[in-house]
Amino acid sequence: MNGAEDMVIRIRGLENRFGSHVVHEGLDLDMRRGEVLGVVGGSGTGKSVLLRSIVGLRRPDAGRIAVFGEEMTGIDEHRRAGLAARWGVMFQDGALFSSLTLRENVEVPLRGVEGLDPDTRRALADLKIAMVGLPLDAAETYPAALSGGMRKRAGLARALALDPEIVFLDEPTAGLDPIGASAFDRLMRDLVQALGLSVFLVTHDLDTLYALCDRVAVLAERRVLATGTLDEMLAVEHPWVRDYFHGPRGRAARKTSPNAPQAR
Amino acid sequence: MRAAMSLEITPVAGQSEIAILGTLGLTELDQARRRFGNMTFGRQTRLDLSGLQRLDTAGAWLLLTEQDRLRSEGVELTFASIPPHAVPLIETVRAKRARTETTTRPLLTAHELLERLGRRMVSAGAFLRDLLHYLGVFTARLLGALRRPRGFHLTSLVHHCEEVGLRAVPIVALMAFLIGVVLAYQGATQLRPFGAEIFVVELIAISILRELGILLTAIIVAGRTASAFTAAIGSMKMREEIDAMQTLRIDPANALILPRILALVITLPILGLVADLSGLLGGALMSWAELGISPAMFRTRLIEGVEPIHVVVGLVKAPIFALIIGIVGCRAGMQVGHSAESLGRMTSSAVVTAIFAVIVTDALFSILFAQVGL
């Protein structure tokens, strides 16, 4: 499993700057095929910036990013579009198109597929809506009428429309109540299993980390400070990492998680 | 990588066993469906999936849909040797697909059309009532402010006077000037054959002072200010700032609506006056250039031939127009929901409604003045 072809994302020496403010410097990160990688870090450590750099919404100031073994910097538009069909992004508040109904939102990526008649497109969109656990009578509603949790699920349905290999989730449980958040965690676990997804998960939520992640990458001091399983994170001697995983919330999440590593 | 793997659907043993090789996904959907459609199946058909290298949800959906279709034709299609990676996927799709039966929307019936018309009428009535409500709110807050001037937001009023009045002066003046030029030019062409060029002064003066100056000013202000009111109040509504005001015991009508509409009522007559003067100036310049009517002659003709009542008839409409524009703009802002889309929709509807209402009111004024003989 350690061959280079099994690395779906490979980042070397990434640098991101906003004016004189350096967000990333010499950042390295690998993500393997089929794993759920949790990216954590304090506010302002550039978790979202990292996500945006990978999916091409932001041009990094230096460094190399390869997705599916293809260099993303300097790639031509056509190839990039081909790669982009192989990943899906779920934005924080769903980022649904407000002038389209829920079903039309999910149909948007499907419109680009040749030879797909409207009935099939509609059926596939409905399938995706059902797969993320939304009721079908919501399909005709506009995003403004959906609750925050439903908007996130709808954003996920749209991200999954083309059956991507990688899904990027930006704070999927932020703003959800605890019941909704753990329902979302369960949904993601089922989908990862059924669809064989690789997931790049940016989150603050320790419960989500324990429920979903195979590996965790900690962003601090402008780079990836540590990567490893949750078990290994507990042993990292860095003040932020210690506070995060050994703090009261970290302990509580560890205690309640089904696959919790034993405290040492 | 995806395109390299192709799809093959081939009969293995007569009509009772079919094998699928390669990738079955979204991009192969059409091809696979056509292939299935062209095949003949035995009553009991095994579908060997062991050669399937990649299957996505669309592919799984197609397999299950074809299974259903064939069952309705009396063919039992069974999946055999499902590769391990595809098992959970097919199961998930099977479970979720059951709920997604298509519901086609029936065509509109005459009954529904009638119902829709009825709803439109009722909402039009509600709209007029709503405008009256905001007129009432404005009047009540104005009277309240007169009784208790300390609660009045004077700074806000001055700010809005600058925004809607002072900053509109250049565009209003330019517009009226050009209208004056156009009237003089057109009038000259039409009146010259009769040797009646000198009446161009009355033509310009009466049409600008009575109607065009104030009407066009109101239309420009409706486009400029009604939209600005809706956007400003609407975005506050969208971000719950108005709710926050209420919890802090600040009256939104007093803080937002009163200063805006009052500023408009104060400044629109002034803008109308600016438009009148600027229009006359444009007309006088053009008359001089085109017809040789000197400015002095224009002035004499203006003072002798045109009754001052025309100015009054024009400007008396200004506060009414201001009220209409302000109320329509503020009401539309308060109607904005939580989506950015509703903000855009209300803003454009505010402009259209305000312009339309101004023109209708102007027509009513014309009839009224004709009836009383002004």
Residue B11: strand, helix, or coil = strand
B46 belongs to a structural domain: yes
Written as tens digits, the pLDDT of chain B (374 aa) is 444 457 788 877 666 788 888 888 888 888 888 888 888 788 888 888 888 888 888 888 888 888 888 888 888 888 888 888 888 888 888 888 765 555 556 677 888 899 999 999 999 999 999 999 999 999 999 999 999 988 888 999 999 999 999 999 999 999 999 999 999 999 988 988 998 888 999 999 999 999 999 999 999 999 999 999 999 999 999 988 999 998 988 899 999 999 999 999 999 999 999 999 999 999 999 999 988 889 999 999 999 988 889 999 999 999 999 999 999 999 999 999 887 888 999 999 999 999 999 999 999 999 999 999 87
ipTM: 0.81
Residue of A nearest to B99 (CA): A130
Is residue B52 within a helix (H) or strand (E), and if so which, with residue range?
strand B44-55
B2, B157, B249, B254, B255 from B245: Cα distances, Å = 57, 18, 6, 11, 9
**What is the per-residue pLDDT for A2?**
47
**Number of domain units in chain B:** 2
Token pair of B182, please? 């156009």
Alpha carbons B78 and B25: distance in angstroms, whole number: 19
Q: Does B61 touch chain A (CB under 8 A)?
A: yes
B75 plus B177 within the same structural domain: no
Q: Does B96 touch chain A (CB under 8 A)?
A: yes
B245 belongs to a structural domain: yes
Cα–chain-centroid distance for residue A96?
A: 16
Min distance B94 CA to chain A CA atoms (Å): 10
Binding-site residues on chain A for chain B (CB distance < 8 A):
68, 86, 98-99, 110, 113-116, 119-120, 122-124, 126-131, 136, 142-144, 160, 162-163, 190, 193-196
B220 plus B356 within the same structural domain: yes
Domain CATH number, residue B79: 3.30.750.24
Task: Give yes or no for a contact between A254 and A264, defined as CB atoms under 8 angstroms apart.
Answer: no
| B341:A144 CB<8 A | yes
Chosen for mutation from A131, A141, A193 (greatest number of chain B CBs closer than 10 Å) is: A131
Min distance B315 CA to chain A CA atoms (Å): 43
A36, A205, B95, B104 from A169: Cα distances, Å = 11, 12, 25, 34
B167 plus B280 within the same structural domain: yes
B121 belongs to a structural domain: no
B225 plus B353 within the same structural domain: yes
Alpha carbons B176 and B279: distance in angstroms, whole number: 5
Among residues B78, B97, B116, the one where a domain terminates is: B97
B119 belongs to a structural domain: no
Task: Give yes or no for a contact between A236 and A248, defined as CB atoms under 8 angstroms apart.
Answer: no
Task: Give yes or no for a contact between A102 and A96, defined as CB atoms under 8 angstroms apart.
Answer: yes
Domain assignment of residue B70, given as a range: 7-97
Q: Which domains does chain A have, with CATH numbers?
A: 4-86+164-256 (3.40.50.300)
B140 plus B92 within the same structural domain: no
Partners of A110 on chain B (C-beta within 8 Å) are 26
What are the residues whose beta carbons fall under 8 Å from the beta carbon of A227, sequence distance 6 or more? Answer: A29, A30, A215, A216, A217, A218
Partners of B337 on chain A (C-beta within 8 Å) are 144
Q: Does B340 touch chain A (CB under 8 A)?
A: yes
Alpha carbons A231 and A254: distance in angstroms, whole number: 10
Task: Give yes or no for a contact between A101 and A139, defined as CB atoms under 8 angstroms apart.
Answer: yes
B137 belongs to a structural domain: yes
Alpha carbons B193 and B204: distance in angstroms, whole number: 18
Token pair of B217, please? 């000013």
Partners of B92 on chain A (C-beta within 8 Å) are 131, 190, 194-195
Token pair of A119, please? 């009935």
Q: In chain A, what is the straight-line distance between the N-terminal and C-terminal CA atoms, in Å?
A: 28
B283 plus B176 within the same structural domain: yes
B143 plus B257 within the same structural domain: yes
B210 plus B303 within the same structural domain: yes
Q: Which parts of chain A have pLDDT scores under 70?
A: 1-5, 258-264
Q: Which of A98, A99, A163 is the closest to B56 by Cβ?
A: A163
A29, A137, A175, A231, A254 from A219: Cα distances, Å = 10, 41, 22, 17, 20
Q: What is the DSSP letter of A221?
A: T
Residue B295 has a CB neighbour count (10 Å cut-off) of: 12
B111 belongs to a structural domain: no
AA letter at B153? H
B149 plus B258 within the same structural domain: yes
A125, B52, B178 from B21: Cα distances, Å = 26, 5, 76
Beta bridge partners of A27: A14
A73, A210, A216 from A204: Cα distances, Å = 29, 12, 12
B87 plus B175 within the same structural domain: no
Residue of A nearest to B86 (CA): A194
B258 plus B306 within the same structural domain: yes
**What is the per-residue pLDDT for A258?**
60
Beta bridge partners of A87: A166
| A126:B92 CB<8 A | no
**What is the per-residue pLDDT for B172?**
96
Is pTM beyond 0.80 here?
Answer: no
Beta bridge partners of A190: none
Among residues B82, B97, B112, the one where a domain terminates is: B97
| Burial class (CB within 10 angstroms; exposed 0-12, middle 13-18, buried 19+) of A236 | middle
Residue A126 has φ and ψ, to the nearest 5°, of -60, -35
Partners of A142 on chain B (C-beta within 8 Å) are 339
Partners of B89 on chain A (C-beta within 8 Å) are 194-196
**What is the per-residue pLDDT for B374?**
78
A233, B37, B355 from B179: Cα distances, Å = 76, 70, 19
Residue B114: strand, helix, or coil = helix
B2 belongs to a structural domain: no
B201 plus B309 within the same structural domain: yes
B107 belongs to a structural domain: no
